[in-house]
Structure 1
Amino acid sequence: MFNIISYLIFLAAASYITVDVGRRCYHEGKLYLEYLIHDKNLCLTINRILLGCYYLINLGYIAISLTTWDKITSPEQVLAVTAIRIGNIMLILCVLHYINIFTLYLLRKNLTIK
């Protein structure tokens, strides 16, 4: 019973975080991409590809995460396990976000040098 409660809390929080962060990065990322690339059509295409990849990575992590949980036997474990899993998603999102920003910056830097 505790596993089901933990799954529901995790799925609700992970879904909200994934959708909200994806939406925010998509809308704000357009400006950043336009600043770096100066081609609106290419920026829109890149932004859509990044959003699709972002959702796929998160859905994959969420699915894998659900399959690796041990049996939860107390309400304290529900909170601890769920918090750890949600924290992992938030850290992964943060790392992916900064990798994308840094990669796009390096690509822009290389394009302007040539």
Structure 2
Amino acid sequence: MFNIISYIIFLAVSSYITVDVGRRCYHAGIYYLDYLIHDPELCLTINRILLGCYYLINLGYIAVSLTTWTPINSAEQLLAVTAVRTGNILLILCVLHYINLFTLYFLRKKIILK
């Protein structure tokens, strides 16, 4: 019973965070891409590809992480396991965001130098 409650809490929180962060990065990212690339059509295309990849990676990780949970036997374990799993999602979001930023920044430097 505790596993089902934990799954529901985890899916609700992590899905909300994934969709909200994706939406915010999509809307704010267009300005960053326009600053880096200076081509509105290319910026929109790259932004859509980044959003799609972002959703696939995060929702895939959420689905895979559900299969590796150990049985939960108490309310304390429920909170601990759910918090750790949600924290992992947040860390992955941060890492992916900064990888994207640095990659685009270094690609821009490489394009400018040519």
Same fold by TM-score greater than 0.5: yes
Q: How many residues align?
A: 114
Unaligned runs of 5+ in 1: none
**1:29-44 alignment runs, 5 A limit:** 29-44=29-44
1:100 partner SS: helix
RMSD (Å) for aligned C-alpha atoms: 0.3
Deviation at 1:101, TM superposition (A): 0.1
1:8 partner SS: helix
Read off the aligned partner of 2:107 and give its amino acid letter. Answer: L
1:47 aligns with 2:47: yes
Runs of 4+ in 1 over 6 A off after TM superposition: none
User: How many angstroms apart in 1 are the aligned matches of 2:26 and 2:61?
Assistant: 20
User: How many angstroms apart in 2 are the aligned matches of 1:107 and 1:27?
Assistant: 21
Read off the aligned partner of 1:102 and give its amino acid letter. Answer: F
Deviation at 1:109, TM superposition (A): 0.4
User: How many angstroms apart in 2 are the aligned matches of 1:78 and 1:110?
Assistant: 48
Q: Which residue of 1 aligns with 2:27?
A: 27
1:21 partner SS: helix
User: How many angstroms apart in 1 are the aligned matches of 2:84 and 2:38?
Assistant: 40
Q: Which residue of 2 aligns with 1:58?
A: 58
Read off the aligned partner of 1:22 and give its amino acid letter. Answer: G
Deviation at 1:113, TM superposition (A): 0.7
* Post-superposition CA distance 1:40-86 (Å, at most 9, x none): 00000000000000000011100100000000000000000000000
Sequence identity (%): 79
Deviation at 1:19, TM superposition (A): 0.4
Q: Which residue of 2 aligns with 1:3?
A: 3
Deviation at 1:11, TM superposition (A): 0.4
